[in-house]
Amino acid sequence: MTAIGVLTMLLQIAGWTILFGALVYIPFRRSPAASQAWLLLFFFLPWVALPLYLVLGNALHPKWRRVRLAQLPAVLEPIIQRIGGGAATDKGALRSPHRITAQLVEKIGRLPPVSGNEVEFDADYDRVVERIAADIDGARHHAHLCFYILEADEAGNRVISALERAAKRGVHCRLLVDAVGSSSDYKSISKRLQGSGVEMHTILPLRFWNEATRLDLRNHRKIVVVDGQIGWVGSQNMHRIEYEPNTFYRELMARVTGPVVLELQTIFVADWYLETEEDIGTGEFVPPENLERSGAAICQVMPTGPDFPEAGVDVLFTDIIHNARDRVALTTPYFVPNDELLNAISTAVQKGVKVELFITATTNSFLIDTAQASYFEDLLIAGVEVYLYSERFLHAKHLSIDGDIAIIGSSNMDLRSFELNSEVTLIAYDETANAELQRIEADYRSKSKRLELEEWRKRGFFKQLAENLTRLISPLL
C-alpha cells in the first residue's frame, strides 16, 4: 500500500473514531435537539465538527471561572438574607399559580418576590438614554451599569459623560461591558475613562492562555442601578437608534423603584465579583433606604446563564405559559424555540388560551430569519396569531400573561439565551404593569402584518427548503 493509501485509511479510521466518540459523548451533555444537530454535523463534516465542539460544544466556563463561581454564594448570601429580612417576601399575596412560579424563579436565581415596587415601561429609545443619563446625574452615592453593547456614539457618550460627571462629584461609578458585544469601542472607552474616577471592566475578554475565556459564553444583560434606589432593565443596549445602516431599533426598558432594585444590585455585585474578585456587596452599596416601598407591585428578578446551570430562562417561559388561563403575548426579535417551549405554546392554544407572537419582520441575521420562519407554519396550524412587525427592528423582549403578570428582560427566545448567555429577567406580578404591556402590544399589532396560513403556504419551494435545512441546525444558532 502506498503512503497516500495509508494516510487515506488512517484519516478514514480517525473520522469514524470521531463520529463514534460523538455518538457516545454528546447525547449525555446536550438537549435532544442540540444533540441531534451536533451529531448531524459530525456525520457529514467530522473534521469541522470536532474543533467547533471543543470550542463551543458545552456551556461550561473554564476552570478559573468555575472557582470564582464556587466562591460567589458566600459573597451574595448577606445581600440575599437582607432582601429576605428587610422586604415583604410573602408569596401568599400571589394567586396560586403565581406562587408556584415565584418559587420556581427563586429556586433558579435565589432571589425572592418582593412587594412595594413601582414599574414603569418606556419604549422611547432616545428618551430612555436621556433618562438613564439624568438618573446618573442625580446619583448621590453610586451608579452601577452593565451592558452587552456600549458604543462611543451619541447615545453611549451621553451615558459615559454622565458617569464622568458623577465621578467628579465623588459618586462611586462602576461600568461593565461585554468584550464581544462591545468589541468595537470598549478599548477607546476604557482609555477615555482612565483617570476619570469611573471604574470600568470588560466582561470575559477573549484570552486563549492564562484565564482563558469562551467566545460564545457572553454576558447579555442590560442593568442600571443608581444609589440602590433606581433600576433599569430590559432589551436596550447603549448605542444609537440606527445601530446598523438603515436599521432603526425599537426597544422596551423598565424603570423600577422599591426593594426589587436590590435584586438588580445583587446581580451586578455577582458580575463585578466574577470579573474583579472584589466584593462590593456591603452595606455601603446596599443602603437600608433602598428597602423602602415605592409602589404596589410584587416583583422578582431572575438571573440565568452558565453561572446558574440548574435551569435557564426557557423553564420560566414554559412554566408560565402552561399556567396561563386567558392570553399569552410573546415579543422577541429571535424566535428559535426548543421543543418544550413549542409544546407549551401549542398546549395553551388547545386549552383555549389566546396566544400572540410579535416578532420583527426581518432580523439582522439571515440564518435566524430563515430558521425562525420554519416554525411559523406549525404555529399557525396550532392557532397562534403571528404578527410580523415592520416599522423598525423590533428588539424588545417581553411577555404578558393573562391580566396580571408582565415579564421583561434581556433574553431572546433562542438557544443562545436559554443556555449560553448570562441574562436577566424582571417578573412583575402586577395588573398595572400588565395593562401597560398590553397597550404597547396593541401598538405593535397596529403596525404589523398578521400571517395567514394559506398565504404563508404559498411561499416558494426553495424558501421552504432553506427553512427546513436551517431548522436542522437551529439548536446551534
* Helices and strands: H and E segment counts in the chain: 17, 18
State the angle between helix axes of 3-25 and 46-56 in degrees (0 to 180), rounded to the nearest 10: 40
Per the CB < 8 A criterion, the answer to whether 428 and 297 are in contact is yes
Q: Hunting for cell 447603549 — which residue is that? A: 238
C-alpha pair distances (Å), 104 with each of 120, 193, 240, 332, 359 = 25, 41, 37, 22, 27
Amino acid at 240: R
Secondary structure letter of residue 414 according to DSSP? S
Residue spans of alpha helices (H) in 144-248: 154-168, 186-193
d(CA 304, CA 228): 21
Beta strands in 402-447 (DSSP E): 405-409, 423-429
118 pairs with which residues across the strands? Answer: 257
* H or E, element range at 119: strand 114-122
d(CA 317, CA 111): 17
Active site residues: 220, 222, 227, 395, 397, 402
State the angle between helix axes of 186-193 and 154-168 in degrees (0 to 180), rounded to the nearest 10: 20
Nearest to 291, CA basis, from 255, 256, 265, 261 = 261
